[in-house]
Amino acid sequence: MLTLVIVVVLAALIFEYINGFHDTANSIATVVATKVLSPMQAVGLAASMNLIGALLGTAVAKTIASGLIDIGVVEVGSQLILCALLGGIIWNLITWWLGLPSSSSHALIGGLCGAALAAASNNFDAIIWSEPKEPIYRSAGVLWKVVVPMVTSPVLGFAAGFLVMGVLFFIISMMARSGGWLARIARPRWVNSFFGKAQLVSAAGMGLAHGMNDAQKTMGIIALTLFSAQSVGTLDNLPAWLGFLHPSDNAMATQDIDLWIKITCALVMAAGTAAGGWRIIKTLGHKLVKLHPIHGFAAETSASAVIFAASSLGIPVSTTHNISSAIMGVGTAKRFNAIKWTVVEKMIWAWILTIPAAGGIAYLFFEAMRAMGWA
């Protein structure tokens, strides 16, 4: 049904909007906490950089569109995708309300897996669990594209944050001991001033990295919806004003993403970013560890480096996990007990529960649709 396809596309854009104020709050929490930018200035910077980042590349979108669900086992129809999106949206709103920085990426992936499992009547072969390839970063499936990055990217973020912070501390301490003009610029006033300016660059990089990775996930969902609808003839005989929904011949042949999908998702995420996400900013920027500009710079630089690397390889990593773990690494380098570990514990539980919770919600939605004869 054409109406259902349009509903799914609109639901995907709602998810993208929520992603904008949910996950982008993570990316700007540090620059707000260090008072380098006001909340509105930080949101404006993040929104503009998200917009640019979302238009750079489609590797992550292709993973979401074709690397997780086995279309030979289960038909990836509009009902399945709608239930997946509802699972991700509801879990995102729950964690946003609680102020917990969970991952929109994993909420969407969990929703896809849960809905696919329901659609396949509990046939676990509907999910592509593992497809090892050479080189290893080209491997497909939930194991290689989700589980492994879910563990390794926060570890890398923590290690990078700890290392960058340690190097900066070492350089500043050496400058302070050297005497003369170097010692003067190593004073807190000068250090805060310098890294306040440097943090503008690192915060922009964080916004760009977030757009490159997170916006592409919804691009993949919309492309998957339209590819499926095209293949079963739902998009045949469209009225002229809906002609843009037809995937181009090149997109169908190469599983690429049409330009209108990229631009629409980028704009919607930027709009969501502009709405802000103050509950999550409060958790990451104020409750986790006390931050100064040097700490914000180290955390943002570390996290964005990991996300850029993952995006280039088509790996849908979590902005939330990376910036949170980088902040933990920076805080640990500062002093082990500088981190409020009770807050960390709550965040980790949110990380662990996201995929099964969103998957469970999506599963229940699909079963409800089936019971009502809609699927």
* Residue 311 backbone phi and psi in degrees, to 5: -60, -40
**Domain coordinates in residue numbering, the chain:** 2-371
Distance CA 20, CA 85 (A): 15
Of residues 75 and 91, more confidently modeled: 91
Of residues 358 and 68, more confidently modeled: 358
Amino acid present at 114:
G
Of residues 345 and 300, more confidently modeled: 300
pLDDT at 10 over 90: yes
Q: How far apart are the first and last CA of the chain?
A: 12
Query: What does the mean pLDDT of the chain come to?
Result: 83
For residue 186, how many other CB atoms are within 10 A of its CB?
17
Distance CA 167, CA 102 (A): 29
For helices 341-371 and 78-98, what crossing angle results, to 10°? 150
Q: Which has the closest alpha carbon to 85: 289, 290, 366?
A: 366
pLDDT at 256 over 70: yes
Which pLDDT tens digit goes with each residue over 43-89?
Answer: 788 878 878 887 787 777 777 766 788 877 777 788 999 999 999 99
Vertex 209, ends 338 and 324: CA angle to 5°?
Answer: 20
Percent residues over pLDDT 70 in the chain: 91
Give residue 230's pLDDT. Answer: 84
What's the sign of the alpha-carbon dihedral 29, 345, 361, 303? positive
Of residues 58 and 259, more confidently modeled: 259
Mean pLDDT of 274-281: 62
pLDDT at 280 over 70: no
Give residue 289's pLDDT. Answer: 64
Which pLDDT tens digit goes with each residue over 302-327?
Answer: 999 998 888 888 787 877 788 888 98
Mean pLDDT of 228-247: 82
Distance CA 341, CA 1 (A): 50
Give residue 254's pLDDT. Answer: 66
How sure is the predictor about 24, in pLDDT bands with cuts at 50, 70 and 90? low
Could you tell me the pTM of the whole model?
0.82
How sure is the predictor about 21, in pLDDT bands with cuts at 50, 70 and 90? confident
Which pLDDT tens digit goes with each residue over 128-140?
Answer: 898 887 777 677 7
Contacts of 94 (CB under 8 A, 6+ apart): none
Encode burial over 145-158: b for 16+ CB neighbours within 10 A, e otherwise: bbebbbeebbebbb
Distance CA 192, CA 188 (A): 6
Q: Report cis status (omega within 30 of 0) of the bond before 101.
A: no
**Measured between alpha carbons, how far is residue 299 from residues 72, 263, 291, 314, 333 in Å?**
42, 29, 10, 23, 11
Give residue 278's pLDDT. Answer: 57
pLDDT at 248 over 90: no
